[in-house]
Amino acid sequence: MYKVFFNDRIIYCGAGSKNSRIDNSPSFYVTDSKEAGNAWQIFLGDPMLRDMYFFSESDEIAWRLFNNLFQGIDAAGGLVLNSEGKLLCIKRWGKWDLPKGKMEKSEEPAQTALREVEEECGIFPLIEHGFVLHTFHIYQHPKKQDIWVLKKTHWYSMVYEGVRRLVPQVDEDITEAYWFTRDEVKSKVLPNTWKSLLTVFERFIRSEPI
C-alpha cells in the first residue's frame, strides 16, 4: 500500500474491497477515473477528514487511478552522513528538512540527489551509497490553483568525508544547514519538520543502513 502526504494528512492507496474499513477513517472504493476524482474532491473539501483510504481491485489499479488525478513531478534528495556519523539537515521555511530538489531533464535520480546536496549545502565531493526509499506528497501548483501536484521523491544515502563549511543556499529559502546526532534529530528536528519526512528521519534514528 502506498502512503501519500497532503500537508499533515495521509492518503493510503492500495488493494481493498467495497467493505474495507480501517480505523474508522473514510474509505473509498474506486473503479474508474470519475469515482477517483469524486473521492479526492470529498477529501479535499473536508479538512476534518484527517486520513483517507483509497481502495481498488489491486495496488496497481488504485495507484494508477490516483496518479491520474495529479500532475506528476520527480525529485531526489540525500541522507548525508559525515565522518562522525551525524546527519545533514537544512532549515527551509522555518522547518527542518533534508536537501532535495526537482529532477532535471536527462538526469537520473541519484545524479539529482548529489547535485541538490552540493547546491543547497555547498559540500563536495559526496559518496553515494545507494537508494533508500521513496516518499510522496501532494501540493497545490503555485501558479495554477486548479492543478494539484503529486511529487515523488527518491532518497539516496551519502557520505561526506570532507571538512568544508556548510553554506546554505539562501536563494532557495534555506536559512541554516547543520549536522545533527541521532539524539539531536529526535529532540530538535522531529518536533519541527514535515510529516512526510518522519519515515526518512526514522531510518537514521533506528540506525538502519542508509
- Domain span at residue 171 reads 72-205
Residue 210 domain flag: no
On whether both 89 and 63 belong to a single domain, the answer is no
Residue 197: which of 73, 110, 77 has the closest Cα? 77
Domain endpoint, select from 24, 46, 67: 67
Query: Quick one: which of 59, 47, 51, 18 has its CA closest to 35?
Result: 18
- Round to whole Å and give the CA distance between 134 and 76: 9
Neighbours of 39 (CB within 10 A): 23
Q: Do 112 and 198 share a domain, yes or no?
A: yes
Of the candidates 3, 99, 94, the residue with the CA atom closest to the CA atom of residue 52: 3
Counted domains in the chain: 2
Domain endpoint, select from 67, 87, 110: 67
Summarised one tens digit per residue, pLDDT across range 110-121 is 999 999 999 999
- Please indicate, yes or no, whether residues 84 and 179 belong to a single structural domain of this protein: yes
Give the per-residue pLDDT at 18. Answer: 83
**Same domain (yes/no): 76, 176:** yes
DSSP 196: G
List of residues 6+ apart from 70 with CB closer than 8 A: 138, 148, 149, 150
Q: Are strands 127-140 and 148-160 parallel, antiparallel or unpaired?
A: antiparallel
Question: Using 50, 70 and 90 to split pLDDT, how confident is the model at 208?
Answer: low
Whether the per-residue pLDDT at 209 is higher than 60: the answer is no
pLDDT in tens, 163-188: 999 999 999 999 999 999 999 999 99
